Structure 1
Amino acid sequence: MAARPLPLLSEYLTKMQKELKRVMDFWLRHSHDEERGGFLVSLTRDGKVYDTVKYGWLQGRQVWMYCKLYNETEEYHTDQVLQAAIDGAKFLKEFFYRSEDNRCYFTVTREGLPIYLQRTMATEAFYVIAMAELSRATKQQHYMDEAEKVLSSMLHWARVDDSQLGRPYLAGSPPINSMVIPMLVFNVVHEVCGTDEKLAAKYREHTDWAAEQTLAHVQRGGTVVLENVSISGEELGGCKGRHINPGHAIEAGWFLLQHASLTNKQHLKRVAIETFMLRSFERGWDEKDGGIFYFLDVDGYSPTALEWNMKLWWPHCEALIAFLMAYQETGEAKLLEQFGRVFDYTFSHFVDEDHGEWFGYLNRDSTVSMDFKGGPYKGEEQTNVCLQVASMFQDVYITASRY
């Protein structure tokens, strides 16, 4: 095995551990709604609440994240963190979840009155992973039963019939294979199963299906990952068919790599790394100003989405996880180099050294576009990337120190 650059690995690990504490402190200090329950996530740069609407997927993420920290770290294995997760889950179940159809509202008022129900299953996904991780934190089976109940509906919507989500299929808009659907199945099933091999075997059919559906997005002789393809796995016409979401493709890559490692599929590992991660990153990286573009058109046309050339926090988070996971799997220096490229850009532009937490949205030239720390689509995801990357680096560093 080639020698690892130990001082560099140690520096990355130290920075990630420090950043985990800074980000977590921000959310513990500013987001808890002590009066009404749940979490207030619309926070200004310095943590002031600018809107009291509550978002289901962000409530679910925060419960899940607190439980992850409680379960996997010594520093946050505290009664405060666990109780915050339990209280958040109580609000989530009481006000976001609909027992009659296993749907979850996207938004509710501060008090819990429903505002909006999306025609996707993203909020349900975060509800499921919150309950599953809370079950492990509390050692209470009823939370896992809740998670599996809603997961069962999600799998039905993904694989059999999604009409319950309320999205009508019109003559000019036939069903498509959108990569987000198998990605949700991958992520949610993995989080529900955790390290439980019996559960993993129970859901293996579904993760195999998700892998097959995700691989259908590799088009043009294996040179590109497209966001949307036909149900039969063929390239679509028009803007929708040419659409590339580099962050999604990179994220799908580490989902596939995770699945390939669990099922010992060597060829799938290479496709995950070379096609989904490296080629998508090479296409998505802005050589002029740095950072990963939000959207691209495979034929080089200007994407129609006005925000196409912005730099968002989450694709960079996914790239950090993906390249470090791939490096951990293979030991290939080029993967650590790409990790370092993303790391340097991320810590130079998204991290707010003055107030803590991260900015979420940058202009193409990498200046801050919106300086709030939380909103309709951005919550405490950085906590997860800091935890996951720090955890992987500890494993990588221990292995590297042997050589």
Structure 2
Amino acid sequence: MSTPLMDAVSFLGDCLDRLESELKRGVDFWLTHSHDEEHGGFFNCLTREGIVFDDTKYGWLQGRQVWMYCKLYREREDFRRDDLLRAAIAGGEFLIKHFYRCEDHRCYFTVQRNGLPIYMQRKLFTESFFLLAMTELFRVTGEKKYQELADAVFGKIRYWAREDDSELGRPHLAGNPRANELAIPMMFLCVLQEMCLEDENLLKKHKDDMKWCTQHILSHLQRDKRFVLETVSPEGIELEGSRGRFMNPGHAIEAGWFLLRQANLLDDDELRKTAVDHFIVRSFANGWDSAKYDGGLIYFLDIDGRPSIPLESNMKLWWPHCEAIIAFLMAYRTRRDDVLLQHFKKVYDYSMKYFRDDGEVGEWFGYLARNGSRDENPLKGGPYKDFNLGCFHTLRCFHMATQLIREILKTELVKN
């Protein structure tokens, strides 16, 4: 007779095998279809079959792909391959040559295929992904120039996040008062965690920065801790109007596992509880489409039930589901609660049914209609305006999920 524990171990073992397969298929997709052998860097806009439909190159996605390749090369024996390392180095050199501006440590947002600059974004995210790429390149190559570039850009990111972002070029107009956007402390905390998690000295050095990020993320938890809002006032007060009622459940869940990782780092039980119960579980409940269409996370919502302005609000995108897979596994590893495992199963089953490509070509689809249809937009890679579909969220999900499942199974086997 099976027991709940035996059933959980069996289920997670099956998930592990399938996610391992998805990781290999996904890596093969990007290695096969996204490399620009003529000019360097990576093609970002790819059809279901991997055909390039636009050769514009996006700084976010270039940096993410370098980081992902390096991460896999460094942390997994089966991906310690020369072709992966060569591609990461070539991508990093393309970033340095064509995206990075040494005079002010800014990075272009988009460039032409040959590297000519097109557009500079007035946000700190392209620089953040450049920094993550340089940090991982230094770890896998030992080349100090990558670390020096990461350090130089970090100083600017910290200044823009914590002090003054006016030099990014976005004016602060009288009718648009300053606000605390969830993405800023989240991105800064992600940068800090990736920089510091393996270095005790850096953890001590940036303890105050991590505390600042954590406090600013927590300030988005509003309405008696029932909702995580995308934008609040600098003082952590709900804003008026639709902007103040705006929620992205997937983003809130992602913030939750960032906070949970921080809580585990600090051994902070109160932060663990807040991360799991309010950022992950409650945000999942707010966003899960339980009434219609077989589930899935709705992209945007108005917390008062009023119309949500973005036209894509009722769509179901790949990346919130990837973040929920990570979040629930991380939460279950932290706290063996069957409800957390059940939530993981919901997201996992939905994702495998609707986002996974059952054909020979790997990688997930990115965009679903509310009913789960992907017929109108069956892309595997897209530009920023199409929500950054690229070599990052799925592969990070598969990589982290397999690590977490192994840790969970190892603990259960030791205990029993």
TM over 0.5: yes
Residue of structure 2 in register with 1:232 after alignment: 235
Aligned partner of 2:407 in structure 1 is 395
Contact 1:131 1:147 in 2 (8 A): yes
Which residue number in structure 1 is paired with residue 5 of structure 2? 3
* Residue identity opposite 1:344 in structure 2: D
Which secondary structure does the structure 1 equivalent of 2:371 belong to? coil
Q: Structure 2 residue aligned with 1:31, among 15, 19, 34?
A: 34
Counterparts of 1:55 and 1:17, CA distance in 2: 28
Matched, 1:373 2:380: yes
Take 1:198 and 1:323, find their aligned partners in 2: how far apart are those partners? Answer: 30
Select 2:313's aligned residue among 291, 308, 317. 308
Q: 2:199 aligns with which of 189, 196, 199?
A: 196
Shift of 1:391: 1.0
> Following TM superposition, by how much is the alpha carbon of 1:274 offset from its aligned partner in structure 2, in angstroms?
0.3
Name whichever of 259-268 and 142-151 sits farther off.
Answer: 142-151
Please point out which of 158, 177, 181 is paired with 2:180.
Answer: 177
- The structural deviation recorded for 1:221 is 1.3
CA distance in 2, matches of 1:342, 1:299: 25
Give the residue type in structure 1 aligned to 2:5.
A
How far the C-alpha of 1:91 sits from its partner, in A, is 0.2
Matches within 5 A, 1:74-223: 74-223=77-226
TM score, norm. by length of structure 2:
0.95
* Aligned equivalent of 2:341: 336
Q: Aligned pair in 2 of structure 1 residues 309, 297: CA closer, same or farther (>3 Å)? A: same
Distance 2:161 2:206 in 1: 14
Task: For residue 197 of structure 1, report the CA deviation from its aligned partner.
Answer: 1.2
Write out per-residue CA displacement over residues 107-156 of structure 1, whole angstroms, 9 at most, x where no aligned residue.
00000000011111111111011010111111223212211210110010
User: Which residue number corresponds to residue 359 of structure 1?
Assistant: 365
TM-superposed deviation, 1:323: 0.5
Residue identity (%): 50
Residue 301 of structure 1: CA displacement? Answer: 0.4
One-letter identity of the residue aligned with 1:113: L
Q: Distance in 1 between matches of 2:276 and 2:66?
A: 31
Superposition TM-score, scaled by structure 1 size: 0.98
The whole-number CA distance in structure 2 between the counterparts of 1:18 and 1:396 is: 19
Query: 1:210 deviation in Å?
Result: 0.4
Query: Could you say what secondary structure the match of 1:50 adopts?
Result: strand
* 2:261 is the alignment partner of 1:249: no
SS of equivalent residue, structure 1 residue 34: coil
- The match for 1:319 is 324
Q: Which moves more between the two structures, 192-201 or 150-159? A: 192-201
For residues 355 and 203 of structure 2, the distance between their equivalents in structure 1, rounded to whole angstroms, comes to 36
Structure 2 gap ranges (5+): none
SS in 2 for 1:59: helix
**Distance in 2 (alpha carbons) for counterparts of 1:145 and 1:251:** 29
> CA–CA distance in 2 between the matches of 1:185 and 1:199?
15
RMSD over aligned CA atoms reads: 1.0
What amino acid sits opposite 1:347 in the alignment? M
Question: Is the deviation greater in 4-13 or in 57-66?
Answer: 4-13
Q: Could you tell me which of 282, 285, 297 is aligned with 1:282?
A: 285
Aligned pairs for 1:265-276 within 5 A: 265-276=268-279
Stretches of 4+ moved more than 3 A in 1? none
Helix, strand or coil for the counterpart of 1:3?
helix
SS at match of 2:206: helix
2:69 pairs, out of 63, 66, 80, with 66
Unaligned stretches of 5+ in structure 1?
Answer: none
- Alpha carbons 1:147, 1:192 under 8 Å: kept: no
What is the CA–CA distance in structure 2 between the aligned matches of 1:134 and 1:181, rounded to whole Å?
24
How many aligned residue pairs are there?
402
Distance 2:104 2:90 in 1: 23
- Counterpart-to-counterpart distance in 2, 1:53 and 1:155: 29
* Letter of the 1:360 counterpart: G
Aligned letter for 1:225? V
Quote how far apart the aligned CAs of 1:400 are: 1.2
Matched, 1:383 2:395: yes
